[in-house]
Amino acid sequence: MRKLVLCIIVAFQGLIAVNAQTEEFTVDGIQVILRHTPKEVVSAKLFIKGGTSNYSKEKEGIETFALNLAVSGGTASKDKYTFAGEAEQIGAEISAASTMDYGSINLTCVKMFWDKSWNLFADAIVNPAFDSEEFDLLKEQLISGAKQRESDPDQHLRQLSLQGAFPGKNYAKVPEGSTASLTGITLDEIKAYYKNTVGKQRVLLVVVGNITKEDLTAKINTSLVKLPLGTPAKVEAKTPLNTPSTISEDREMATNYIRGMMDAPKVDSDEGVAMALAMDIMRDRLFVELRTKRSLTYAPGAGYASSLVNSPYATLYASSTDPKQSIQVMVDEVNKLRTEGFSAKELLDKKQSFLTDYYMGLETTESIANQLGISEMQGGWESLDTFTKEVDGITVEQLNAAFKKYSNSIKWTYLGDKKLVTDDDFKQPQKTSKKKVKKSKS
């Protein structure tokens, strides 16, 4: 079985590595990463660095609003319907999104229509129409989406936990926006935000596909170089989550929701891969203890927010009709790993499935472009090509050291019937190992 899994991993690596020469260069102040692949599908992503650091809490959601209006509301030379019709005719998919650390405008197309697709993509970036009618329509849609998120227990729990872990910080802002913030945003603010944010010093262009550097450079020189110089993105210092706390919100629901947040290392640090593996194993353990053995929850979870740039964190999650017992199991599992550690077999088995999942997530040019951009913002795109070696090199001692270092305090958030739990249920007793040390014979 191990040989089969390793063969799968090698196969995925091969698919990504074939002709996967990567070039990094600059065109008139715009940072560009181009990965050559033999695939006939091309993906381009213009990352806008900064994310939630680019706006105030009162204006949260303005980047999501601005970028989506740019790609869906037509351009200075094409109305919404003409633009969408031309894109549909050639199968070009153009979209936008914004996260806590960055926004992006995205293109996926077939190589045959690369020229026409790029022209549409670049036109949306450089010459967005920002039409008032399209602004009103999109605003209604975004507010509707915000209302749905705010009423969804899982989404509400996540935002409560982020606000508790990062009070007054950028990660407490909602990239998609809230009902209140979106309602107050005006078209003039959208235009000013886009002009001041989407500039050469804040963008990163990543392209993956069967194209040449000369072709891409020529295209940038006739389009994206028209962007203003702008200013670099603000970088907020990492916020350590090293103080335990509990936030509870009383709500009558059939199920109660629990989320724990722990500190975590930066992804590009020596401990980053170790923590990612550790939390993957923790998820497996919680599944066994909470679902398989006790049937306390349907979908327990644990993870490491590895796509974040500035303040990565680790999470524990469960939804249950018996929150007291669920919390106890989660705390016990954390403390058990802190005292006894992970086993060498757990680590060996996890490496295989971890790498398989990783490379299965890089099957498309779009996913490769996305990971290249994130890796570059985290410290260097080269980590995409060294990831297997880094995972293979992790020892159980490194795994245990990383988990123990970052799991000494948990910030809990509880959404549900407060009568079913107390603050003491969330406390994490600091235990010491009872393992006996054998004396050496002299």
**pLDDT tens, residue by residue, 63-93:** 999 999 999 999 999 999 999 999 999 999 9
User: How confident is residue 270, by pLDDT bands cut at 50, 70 and 90?
Assistant: confident
SS (H, E, C) 209-232: ECCCHHHHHHHHHCCHHHCCCCCC
265, 380: one domain: yes
Q: Is residue 14 part of a domain?
A: no
Q: Is residue 184 part of a domain?
A: yes
pLDDT at position 186 is 98
The span from the CA of 348 to the CA of 355, in Å, is 11
pLDDT at position 428 is 83
50, 199: one domain: yes
pLDDT at position 18 is 41
- Judged against a pLDDT cut of 90, whether residue 386 lies above it is answered with yes
Closest CA to 377 of 203, 142, 126: 203
The span from the CA of 363 to the CA of 347, in Å, is 25
413, 377: one domain: yes
Q: Is residue 3 part of a domain?
A: no
Helices in 198-318 by DSSP H: which ranges? 213-221, 272-286
281, 387: one domain: yes
308, 195: one domain: no
The span from the CA of 432 to the CA of 63, in Å, is 47
254, 152: one domain: no
What pairing do the DSSP bridges indicate for beta strands 203-209 and 30-36?
parallel
**Residue 439: how many CB atoms within 10 A of its CB?**
6
Q: Helices 383-392 & 344-360, crossing angle to 10 degrees?
A: 160
Nearest-5° Cα angle at 230, 226 to 231: 155
pLDDT at position 430 is 58
The span from the CA of 354 to the CA of 178, in Å, is 35
Q: Tell me the β-bridge partners of 341.
A: none
Q: Residue range 2-25: average pLDDT? A: 58
Helix, strand, coil % in the chain, rounded to nearest 5: 50, 20, 30
Domain end call among 191, 226, 261: 226
Looking at this protein, which amino acid is placed at residue 174?
Answer: V
193, 290: one domain: no
CA 186 vs. chain centroid, Å, equals: 28
The span from the CA of 24 to the CA of 26, in Å, is 7
The span from the CA of 152 to the CA of 142, in Å, is 15
- Judged against a pLDDT cut of 70, whether residue 441 lies above it is answered with no
pLDDT at position 303 is 96
- Judged against a pLDDT cut of 70, whether residue 39 lies above it is answered with yes
User: How confident is residue 268, by pLDDT bands cut at 50, 70 and 90?
Assistant: confident
pLDDT at position 20 is 66
Q: Is residue 439 part of a domain?
A: no
Q: Residue range 165-170: average pLDDT? A: 96
CATH number of the domain enclosing 67 = 3.30.830.10
pLDDT at position 269 is 85
Mean pLDDT of the chain: 92
Domain count, the chain: 2
25, 173: one domain: yes
The span from the CA of 421 to the CA of 416, in Å, is 9
Q: Is residue 100 part of a domain?
A: yes
- Judged against a pLDDT cut of 70, whether residue 433 lies above it is answered with no
**397 HSE (CA, 13 A, CB side):** 1
- Judged against a pLDDT cut of 80, whether residue 431 lies above it is answered with no
pLDDT digits (tens, 9 = 90+) for 302-346: 999 988 999 999 999 999 999 999 999 999 999 999 999 999 999
pLDDT digits (tens, 9 = 90+) for 338-357: 999 999 999 999 999 999 99
User: How confident is residue 14, by pLDDT bands cut at 50, 70 and 90?
Assistant: very low
Neighbour-count burial for 44-76, b at 16+ CB within 10 Å, e otherwise: bbbbbbbbbbbbeeebbbbbbbbbbbbbbbbbe
Q: Is residue 267 part of a domain?
A: yes
Domain end call among 226, 257, 285: 226
Q: Is residue 13 part of a domain?
A: no
Domain containing residue 308: 245-426
Q: Is residue 345 part of a domain?
A: yes
pLDDT digits (tens, 9 = 90+) for 180-233: 999 999 999 999 999 999 999 999 999 999 999 999 999 999 999 999 999 999
209, 257: one domain: no
303, 204: one domain: no
Phi-psi region of 142 (alpha: psi -120 to 50; beta: other; left: phi over 0): alpha
- Judged against a pLDDT cut of 90, whether residue 437 lies above it is answered with no
213, 351: one domain: no
Using alpha carbons only, how large is the chain's radius of gyration in Å?
A: 24
User: To the nearest whole percent, how much of the chain has pLDDT over 90?
Assistant: 90
106, 177: one domain: yes
User: How confident is residue 58, by pLDDT bands cut at 50, 70 and 90?
Assistant: very high
The span from the CA of 313 to the CA of 279, in Å, is 11
**Residue 429: how many CB atoms within 10 A of its CB?**
7
Domain end call among 167, 198, 226: 226
pLDDT at position 438 is 38
- Judged against a pLDDT cut of 90, whether residue 383 lies above it is answered with yes
